[in-house]
Structure 1
């Protein structure tokens, strides 16, 4: 936390007494830990730990921001999102961001062209793993350096990226068109950074 945030009152911690693993697959591990509350009462707390840290990429260009229409099985509908995913074993987050951007949008971006925006936690009440956020300067379709075809993973369903200006994004937020928490958090960091201001990406 920054100095201003750390100046606020700090609540007492919920202490882990024993980590209890209840499920594991190649993506991560679910725990149902035995914990001790600040009042001294014993209880349980679910905790999901991804196998590897995550990345989310904010594609920006002269047309604003690029969102990927993604069908999300848990909610049973299409969600407007920034490309995101997990790092592979021993993969640098920057290289993971380049890979995920290419897989989900077809956009190519040199690692040196990525700009780190910060770190977010997707769901602090359940998921312990962090997600690193990057901005990537890319070009919309119809310009030099058009994206190639996206190549998502087998269990992913995505459509072509949709560009939106900052004004359009504001309207989307007001209408509730974007509900993905990771995308909303990444967008907040990008707006604070000044990304997607309409300036053309470098040649």
Structure 2
């Protein structure tokens, strides 16, 4: 949650003088803005703006929590992650989550619940990502249908304890997955302990 600029002890803002788009495609826009530092010095600030609201899906089923091994081109390696993507025009985060689960993992959502918003990289990415918890039926029910530039394998199911073990061993390094799991844990705690 952004800090209110009126709160004492809040850092002074960096002000946008001029938005300068340097790249754009159907996924979003990259800007290299002219900015003014808190002291008034001019400079540049790079930021990415997604074209659509993002979603990350924490899928829970009889076998535990589903992670999807996903090849990530920037890493040059596979990464164990929660399924994620973007909302299409007119689609709610819950609807997008159900669609992403079908596409990336072949899983069918029985229920979905938007549990919060996260910002994947606050120093670069402007857009937020909705964390959606989904209850799914057992196992992949249909073949995954990833997009052309996605490379995914069958879902891996872990218990909540198994997930914590993976985190402790460095088996999950995706920041979006880590933040989404933290939000799910907090939501679980809130539903058990209302105080």
Does the alignment reach a TM-score above 0.5?
yes
Q: CA deviation at 1:147?
A: 1.9
User: 1:116·1:133 contact (CA, 8 Å) conserved in 2?
Assistant: yes
5+ residue gaps, structure 2? 190-195
Aligned mates of 1:192, 1:104 — CA distance in 2: 26
Q: CA deviation at 1:89?
A: 2.4
Aligned mates of 1:162, 1:137 — CA distance in 2: 15
Aligned mates of 1:186, 1:7 — CA distance in 2: 27
Q: Which residue of 1 aligns with 2:87?
A: 87
Aligned mates of 1:23, 1:187 — CA distance in 2: 32
User: 1:140·1:163 contact (CA, 8 Å) conserved in 2?
Assistant: no
**Change in CA separation of 1:137 and 1:7 when aligned onto 2, cut-off 3 Å:** farther
User: 1:68·1:158 contact (CA, 8 Å) conserved in 2?
Assistant: yes
C-alpha deviations, 1:13-57, integer Å up to 9, x for none?
A: 100000011111111111000000111111000011111111111
SS at match of 1:132: strand
- Across the aligned residues of Structure 1 and Structure 2, the Cα RMSD in angstroms comes to 1.9
Q: How many residues matched?
A: 187
Q: CA deviation at 1:64?
A: 2.2
**Change in CA separation of 1:2 and 1:22 when aligned onto 2, cut-off 3 Å:** closer
Where do residues 23-172 of structure 1 align in structure 2 (5 Å cutoff)? 23-110=23-110, 113-141=111-139, 146-172=140-166
5+ residue gaps, structure 1? 196-203
Aligned mates of 2:9, 2:78 — CA distance in 1: 40
SS at match of 1:163: strand
Aligned mates of 1:118, 1:173 — CA distance in 2: 21
Aligned mates of 2:153, 2:2 — CA distance in 1: 38
Q: Which residue of 2 aligns with 1:14?
A: 14
User: 2:61·2:135 contact (CA, 8 Å) conserved in 1?
Assistant: yes
TM-score, normalising length from structure 2? Answer: 0.90
Q: CA deviation at 1:90?
A: 2.8
User: 2:18·2:35 contact (CA, 8 Å) conserved in 1?
Assistant: yes
User: 1:63·1:165 contact (CA, 8 Å) conserved in 2?
Assistant: yes
